A and B are shown apart, each in its own frame.
Chain A
Amino acid sequence: MAAPDLLDPKTATHNSKPRLSFSAQPVLLKSPDDFEPRVTVMRWKTVLSVFLLVVLYLIVGATVFKELEQPHETSQKLAILVEKLEFLEQHPCVNSSDLENLVKQVVSALRAGVNPSGYSSNQSSLWDLSNSFFFAGTVITTIGFGNISPHTEGGRIFCIIYALLGIPLFGFLLAGVGDQLGTIFGKAIAKVEGMIDKWNVSQTKIRVISTVLFILFGCLLFVTLPAIIFKHIEGWSALESIYFVVITLTTIGFGDFVAGEGERRQHEENSGGSELEYLDYYKPLVWFWILIGLAYFAAVLSMIGDWFRVISKKTKEEVGEFRAHAAEWTANVSAEFKETRRRLSVDIYDRFQRAASIKRKLSAEINLSPPVNQQMTPGKRARSVNLGDEREVYPYTFVRNGSLFLNGLIPDYADHLDITKTQTK
C-alpha cells in the first residue's frame, strides 16, 4: 500500500520550499563535512538485518507456494497435452465445434497459468523456486503482476496471510533503503553544494540544481539503464521497456510485460515462441533492482506530492493574503469615505453658520429686537443661546466628537441634509 503522508504540516513549517531530498533532514549548507549519523535514520546494521529477514521470508514463501501450486499445475499440463494429442490424431477436416473445444481448453489452461503453446513439453514450471520467489516478491511489494497467481484454495489463503505480514515488513525495508539512499545522496549533494558555494550562487539556485541533479541521476540509474538492459535481453521495444519500468516501479504492475517471463518476439522465420534463456542471476538481480528502484520512485512521487502540497499551501496563503488585503483595503476605503463625508459636512455647516451670522448681523442692523413671535424651535433656541459662544469652538468640539448631533446644535440642519447616516456610526 502506498501512502506517503503528503500533507505533513511540520515540514511545511520548517521549510516553505518543497523538499528536495528525501533524507531525514534538509541538507545543511554550512557544514558539508557533517558525517555524523542522524538519529532519525535507521542504522545500516538494522537495514541489513531487516533485509536478511525479508529474504528469508521470501524463501519461505517461495517454498510454500511451490509445494501448494506445482501439483495442480502438473495435472493441468497433462490435461492440455492429452487434448492436443487427440486433436492431432483426428482427421484434419476440422469442424468448428472441435475447434471451439480446443480453444476453450486453451483459454482455461491459460487461466490456470499454463502456456499450451510451444514445442517442448518439458517447459520450465511456473512454480519452480526462482519463479515462486519472484511471485512472492511481487506480492509483498504489492506490484502484483498476475502472470502467475495461485489457483488452489490453500495457495490463496496462504497468499492472504503472507501478504498481511509481508507488506508491512517490506515497508520497513523500503524505509530503511530509502534512508540509506537519501544519506548517500545527501552527502553527494553536500559536496557538490560546497563546491558551488564558492561561486556565490544563491541558495534557491543550488536547491533547484540539486533537485534536477537528483532526478536526472536517478532516472539514468534506475530507469534508463534498466530499460536498455531489458530491451536487449527481453527483446522489447524502447517504449515497452520504459513502460515496463514505470508500471513496475509505481507498483501498478499490469503483468502484460514481465521481466524474466518473456517469449521472444515472433519473427518471420520462427513460427512459434520459444522461451528465452536467462542467466541464473537475472531474476534475483531484477528483484534487487525493483527494491532500490521502488525507493527511488517513492522519493520522486513524494517530491511531486510535496510540490502539490506546497503549491496548494502557497495558493491558500496567497488567497488568504489576498483576502486580508482586500479586507484591509475595504476598511481603509470606507474609513476614508466616512472621514471625507464628515469633513464635508463640517465644511458645509461652517459655511452655513457664517451665512446665518451674516444674515443676523444684517437683520440686527435693520431691526434691533429679535423676533418674539417667531416659533422658537429647540434648535433655534439652542442657536440663540449659543450665539455668544466663540464660533471657533463649534468646529473644534464637533471635530473632537466627530458627530454633529452630540452638541444638539442643528437638528433642523440635519433634517435638511441627510447627514444622519454618518452619525449612527
Chain B
Amino acid sequence: MSTTFRSCFVPTGFILGYIAYLLLGALVFSAIERPVEETLKSDLSSLKAEFLNLSCVNATALETFLEKVLQANKYGVSVLENATLPTNWDLASALFFANTMVTTVGYGHSTPLSDEGKAFSIVYALIGVPFTMLVLTACVQRLMHPLTYGPISICQRRAGLQPRTASVVHFIVLLFLVVLGFFVVPALVFSTIEETWSFLDSFYFCFISLCTIGLGDFVPAEKPGQRLRALYKISVMVYLFVGLMVMFLVLRTFHKLADVHGWTAFFQLPSYEEEDEDREPIIEQEPDDESPEAEKASVKPLDPSSQVSYNSINR
C-alpha cells in the first residue's frame, strides 16, 4: 500500500513542483519585461508621430522607419494603429513563454528584450530543462504500466498472441489513437478558433510544437482581440505538456518494441531498461512474459541505458 502511494506521490510532487517553477518564471519574466516593452511601444508611437510631421519624406528616412518597425515586429510589438495587441508579458503569456522555454519548444514570438531578462533566461533554462525532462520521464514511467504493459499482457492472455505480435498490435493501435487524439482533433479545434489557420496549418502547428521544434510561424492566441486569451493560452500549455508526455510514451513503447524484436541488439543500440524497483508490477505475470525476450535481446548491449533519443547519451 505504501509503495503504490509513494509511486503516486512522487510524480504528483514533481508535477506540483513543475507548476510552481513555471509560475515563478512567469512572474519574474513579467516583472522584468513589461516595463521594457512599454518603453519600446512608446518609442514607436513617438517615432510615428515624428514621421507624420515631416513634410518631405526621403528614402533614408523611410529606411530608418522601416528598420525600426521591423525590429519592433521581431519582438512582437506592432505599430499598427488599429492593432490593439495586448501585452506579451501578462501573466498568462509569460507562463506560456516559460513553458515553451522549459519544454525546449521555443517559439520565439516573444523573447526577452532586456539584458536582465536574457541573463535570467540562461539560468532558468539551464535548471528548468533537465528538471522538466525529469518530470516528464517520471510521469511516462508511471504511465507505461496502465497504457503499455497492461494492454500487452491482456492481449497475450485473452487473445493468446505471442509477445512480439502483441507488442506490434499494441503499438499500431497506440499510434493510431495518438495521431487521432493529439494531432487531428486539436488541429480541428485550432482551425476553428484561429480564423486564418487552415486545417493543414493547424496540423503543421501541432506537429512542430509536439516535436519541440517550435518554429514560431504559427502561435495560437496571438490575434488581436482574442476572447478569453488567458484561458486559451493556458489550455494550449496543458495540451503541449500532455502531448509531449504522450510523444515520450510512444517513443518508449517503440523502444520496447524494438527490444522485444531484437532490433536494438542488432544495431548495438542501448536497450530498454525496466522501471524502478520500488514500483509494484500491476500485473504479476507480465514481467515473466516480457523479460525473457528482453533479456534474450539484450545479451549484447551490456549496460542499462536510456532510450535512443537525442538528448540521452549512451550510459
A residues apposed to B, CB below 8 Å: 1-11, 13, 19, 22, 24-25, 39-42, 46, 84, 87-88, 92-94, 96, 99-100, 103-104, 106-107, 110-111, 115-119, 138-139, 141-146, 149, 151, 153, 156-157, 159-160, 163, 167-168, 170-175, 178-179, 182, 237, 239-240, 242-243, 246-247, 250-256, 266, 271-273, 294-295, 298-299, 301-302, 304-305, 308-309, 312, 316
Contacts and interface: CB of A to CB of B under 8 A. Distances in A.
A136 B273 CA distance: 32
Given A2-B129, A298-B311, A163 B55 contact: no
A222 to B, nearest CB: 14
Contacts of A111: 217
B301 A117 contact: no
Contacts of B100: 252
B191 interface: no
Given A159-B204, A163-B211, A182-B314, A6 B125 contact: no
Nearest to B75: A256
A180 B28 CA distance: 40
Contact of B310 (A9, A170, A255): A170
Contacts of B111: 254-256
B303 A110 contact: no
A2 to B, nearest CB: 3
Contact of B314 (A24, A99, A141): A24
Interface string B92-107: 0000000011001111
Contacts of A10: 273, 304
B289 interface: no
B251 A1 contact: yes
Contacts of A9: 273-277
A240 B122 CA distance: 10
B215 A172 contact: no
Interface in B267-315: 268-270, 273-277, 300-315
B9 to A, nearest CB: 10
A103 B306 contact: no
Contact of A160 (B64, B204, B301): B204
Given A88-B59, A144-B213, A2 B309 contact: yes
A210 B237 CA distance: 39
B104 A252 contact: yes
A271 B64 contact: yes
B161 interface: no
B67 A2 contact: no
Given A3-B133, A3-B251, A253-B104, 5 more contacts: A3-B312, A6-B133, A6-B137, A84-B62, A175-B269
Contact of B70 (A106, A139, A298): A106
A156 B208 CA distance: 10
Chain A, interface SS category: helix
A7 B276 contact: yes
Contacts of A305: 130, 133-134
Given A144-B216, A175-B314, A3 B307 contact: yes
A138 to B, nearest CB: 8
Nearest to B58: A92
B136 A144 contact: no
Contact of A156 (B107, B141, B200, B211): B200
A40 B303 contact: yes
Contact of B302 (A39, A168, A273): A39
Nearest to B133: A4
B215 A144 contact: yes
A8 B273 contact: yes
Contact of B122 (A41, A242, A266, A273): A242
A253 B106 contact: yes
Contact of A22 (B63, B73, B204, B315): B315
B129 A117 contact: no
A190 B211 CA distance: 38
User: Which are the 3 A-B pairs with shortest beta-carbon distances?
Assistant: A5-B306, A2-B311, A10-B304
B57 A94 contact: yes
A298 B311 CA distance: 5
B281 to A, nearest CB: 14
B125 A250 contact: yes
Q: Which residue among B118, B127, B302 has the maximum number of chain A CB atoms within 10 Å of its CB?
A: B118
A119 B59 CA distance: 9
A294 B104 CA distance: 13
A109 B270 CA distance: 47
B219 to A, nearest CB: 10
B213 A143 contact: yes
Contacts of A173: 310
26 contacts: A2-B309, A3-B133, A3-B306, A8-B306, A8-B315, A9-B273, A10-B304, A13-B277, A25-B303, A92-B57, A94-B51, A117-B63, A144-B105, A144-B208, A146-B216, A160-B208, A163-B207, A163-B213, A173-B310, A247-B106, A250-B125, A252-B105, A256-B74, A301-B133, A304-B127, A305-B134
B66 A116 contact: yes
B195 interface: no
A144 B300 contact: no
A286 B3 CA distance: 49
B169 to A, nearest CB: 22
Nearest to A161: B207
Contacts of A93: 55
Given A40-B303, A175-B310, A7 B136 contact: no
Nearest to B109: A146
Interface stretch (B78-86, B147-155, B227-235): B78-86
B272 to A, nearest CB: 9
Nearest to A3: B309
Given A9-B277, A255-B108, A304-B130, A178 B64 contact: no
A144 B125 contact: no
Contacts of A142: 104, 211-214, 310
Q: Which residue among B6, B133, B215, B216 has the maximum number of chain A CB atoms within 10 Å of its CB?
A: B215
B121 A40 contact: no
A246 B70 contact: no
B85 to A, nearest CB: 11
A160 B207 contact: yes
Contact of B66 (A5, A117, A138, A146): A117
Given A7-B134, A9-B276, A299-B313, A117 B70 contact: yes
Contacts of B240: none
Nearest to B206: A160
A104 B73 CA distance: 11
Contacts of B119: 239, 243
B213 A139 contact: yes
A3 B137 contact: yes
B223 to A, nearest CB: 13
Contact of B73 (A13, A39, A110): A110
